[in-house]
Chains A and B, each alone.
Chain A
């Protein structure tokens, strides 16, 4: 499952929560994961994969950015 830090986007990490659908989608974009897979999947969902991106103070960064 994605380890993208979305706290600074005020977006929770992707989880199967229909009422949060739109917010979850932002997480899916960063994770480059199919929306439905990430919404319906578990942390072990094979369709979700890490892209090496993170969000810090609003900046969309590579995880390697220091």
Chain B
């Protein structure tokens, strides 16, 4: 059932099997899984079926960063959450992303890639993508990878029919959760506020936060403060180790016809470092994107190369536009998105500004550091060195990256991939949730979504979010059978 009437729902059901807060990819995936096993599921969405400006304004946050970052734009408060405007890029995290990479950098997960494999196929079906494509080595240090593209699946739209018909699930729109109430290590009830500001107490055996990479931490911080410190056993890491995927243009390149890259429908070819290169060079994971440019832009890039290597430039200019084998000599933009180190100072805290229901807005502290520069510079250098060594092209690294200048603010800068803040850990002192997603110290409060990522790899997070959601749902089912 899909309804806007929170009062009716609050009066009609005394105890739900599961209350899921947030209807994005994680929330809907868990709700569908649990309801298929007969659970009575309450799915609360603060927004409406479509984005409405006044509700979307509740996503506003204060940002303490030198780079553009705007949660009001990147997070959507409506049915289906931010899946309503994602690009559909799907990539599994690499096995190395779960393992220790570089000494002293806290990127390791308490689980391994193999722990998510049982849910890979089902997640691929949900996102309507094919199986993991093979990778191809490009020299000793790099590998060519392929991105998978979801149509993209918009969860609210895809599963709306299911929400309207499912006999055991009730989806309530305009129901904003504003508090969690704990007693004796258990969440006894939650407070949900409807659009008119009326507050209702709802009770559920299990509670799952699926509010996204900012709101999960915000709600936990607020509930923890309101409860007098009774929600999270050790709040040291709560809100902290928050990450993004920095997105920048690192340079440009000209490739001759022998370069073995195949461009996809987005005109992109993808490379990543080999795991041993990551460890040996002290970098983190990075996705290098070659963005194929037009013939005119290719000529401009070759002209720039000719200023530094006139004979080579002239040779390439003669080749430009000619096919070598089946490929053209072409210019590319070298773009990249990479793994940021989870840092305690990159964090979400509660600001002094309140939203319409009196809940503090999030304040996001985020900055890049020298490790980011090292990862970006090393990734670009690896590609440039391999292309030159093979004689398949030349890369120019942008001035700002070579000269230790500031980060360019007129670039894409972020991927709107919000990760961390409620990170997963075995030790309650090192994270907020355990390896299954349960909040340390509480018996029935769980968190799903990218906020639990302890390290973020370089892969777009949605596929991993769906896998983790299926895994958490099966864990909950297993607990009650």
Chain A residue with the shortest CB-CB distance to B404: A10
Question: What 0/1 pattern do residues 427 to 445 of B give for CB contact below 8 A with A?
Answer: 0000000000000000000
> Do residues A59 and B385 form an inter-chain contact, with CB atoms below 8 A?
no
> Do residues A35 and B395 form an inter-chain contact, with CB atoms below 8 A?
no
In angstroms, Cα B399 to Cα A9, docked, is: 8
B254 to chain A, nearest CB (A): 10
Q: Which of B311, B371, B381 contacts A66 (CB 8 A)?
A: B311
**Lowest 6 A-B CB distances belong to which pairs?**
A60-B384, A66-B311, A57-B308, A65-B309, A22-B374, A56-B308
> Do residues B402 and A9 form an inter-chain contact, with CB atoms below 8 A?
yes
> Do residues B374 and A51 form an inter-chain contact, with CB atoms below 8 A?
no
> Do residues B281 and A60 form an inter-chain contact, with CB atoms below 8 A?
no
| Interface hits, A1-55 → B, CB 8 Å | 8-10, 21-22, 25-26, 28-30, 32, 34-35, 51-53
B15 within 8 A of A: no
In angstroms, Cα B388 to Cα A58, docked, is: 13
> Do residues A29 and B309 form an inter-chain contact, with CB atoms below 8 A?
no
From known contacts A26-B381, A53-B385, A66-B312, infer whether A58 and B280 are also in contact, taking CB-CB under 8 Å.
Answer: no
Chain A residue with the shortest CB-CB distance to B405: A10
A-B pair number, CB within 8 angstroms: 82
Most chain B beta-carbon contacts within 10 A, residue among A30, A32, A57: A57
B228 to chain A, nearest CB (A): 44
Chain B's interface size range is 20 to 34
Enumerate 18 A-B pairs (CB-CB under 8 Å) in ascending A order.
A10-B402, A29-B382, A35-B280, A35-B281, A51-B385, A53-B388, A57-B308, A58-B399, A59-B394, A59-B396, A60-B384, A61-B312, A61-B388, A62-B388, A62-B391, A65-B394, A66-B310, A66-B312
Contacting residues, chain A, for B385 (C-beta < 8 A):
29-30, 32, 51, 53, 60
> Do residues B389 and A53 form an inter-chain contact, with CB atoms below 8 A?
yes
Q: Give chain B's interface secondary structure class.
A: helix
B397 within 8 A of A: yes
In angstroms, Cα B437 to Cα A31, docked, is: 45
Contacting residues, chain A, for B371 (C-beta < 8 A):
22
> Do residues B396 and A57 form an inter-chain contact, with CB atoms below 8 A?
yes
> Do residues B378 and A8 form an inter-chain contact, with CB atoms below 8 A?
no
Question: What 0/1 pattern do residues 296 to 325 of B give for CB contact below 8 A with A?
Answer: 000000000101111110000000000000
> Do residues B389 and A35 form an inter-chain contact, with CB atoms below 8 A?
no
